[in-house]
Amino acid sequence: MCIMRFSLATITLVMSCALTSPANATVVFSDNFNSQNGGVTALNYSGFSNFSTTGNVDLVATPDFGITCAGGSGSCVDLDGSPGPGEIQTLASFSFNPWERVSFSFDVSGSQRGTLEDFNFGVRTAGGPIAFNNVKVSTAAFGNFNFANNVTSSRNFTGLGWASGQPFGNVTLRFDPGTAGSFRAYLGSGSADNIGVLIDNVSIDVAAVPEPATWMMLLAGFGLVGAALRRRGSALTQRQLI
Ligand SMILES: [Ca+2]
Ligand SMILES: [Ca+2]
């Protein structure tokens, strides 16, 4: 029985590790815009360190125009420039493999200036279409949304309306790529009246799901169970013979 207790404890340990071990998340990109342009507001800004721009977006430093960026200080991006519409897209592209999970995350708030504003976001593959599996968008404001798998060159989410007073909250797009590839992430607005949603704290991470090491632990655990059961059977046989 001692062998069995040891084995069950081992199994519990292995299963516990498999279920609770954080995925091997690697943050491959993050930008809070706070040091951009020396922390100074710039309308129709296109000098981002990590993003290209299309159309016009504004870099806004708290508390200019009555705007407070995420966390109560620092800078953020108004996606509807002077005027918009505008878009920012990561300069770098980020690679992934089929055993990994990709998450593109950012904080977004309403305009803080009395208008209902739209925005759109997504990812564009840099090396041709890929399978987007287990696509999920999580929002602090409105909960979680799951989407069907498909194979495409870009995964876009458009026409999202954010009320003026909607506070900064996280939005995360995650997907499990079916094949290796790479992508750039973007955020944009369709309106052009100088006032848009505010974006802050953009990040991208790539995590193995599950980690190969976790699978190895699971396989090792199953091996121990098999060995324990074989030893138990052998002991019973010996007792029966005695
Ligand atoms: Ca910021
Ligand atoms: Ca607008």
- Condensed to tens digits (0 to 9), the pLDDT of residues 100-116 reads 999 999 999 999 999 99
Exposure string for 147-161, b = 16+ CB within 10 A, e = fewer: eeeeeeeebebeebe
Q: Which positions ≥6 away from 220 have C-beta within 8 Å?
A: 14
Q: How far is 173 from 156, CA to CA, in rounded Å?
A: 10
Q: How many CB atoms lie within 10 A of CB 60?
A: 26
pTM of the model: 0.79
Centre of ligand 1 from the C-alpha of residue 98, in Å: 32
Which ligand has its closest atom nearest to the C-alpha of 189?
A: 2
Centre of ligand 2 from the C-alpha of residue 78, in Å: 9
Centre of ligand 2 from the C-alpha of residue 193, in Å: 5
Centre of ligand 1 from the C-alpha of residue 75, in Å: 4
Tokens 């052009």 found at: 192
- Judged against a pLDDT cut of 90, whether residue 214 lies above it is answered with no
Centre of ligand 1 from the C-alpha of residue 79, in Å: 14
Binning pLDDT at 50, 70 and 90, where does residue 25 land? Answer: confident
Centre of ligand 1 from the C-alpha of residue 72, in Å: 9
Q: What is the DSSP letter of 226?
A: H
Residue 19 has φ and ψ, to the nearest 5°, of -85, -30
Please state the length of the chain: 242
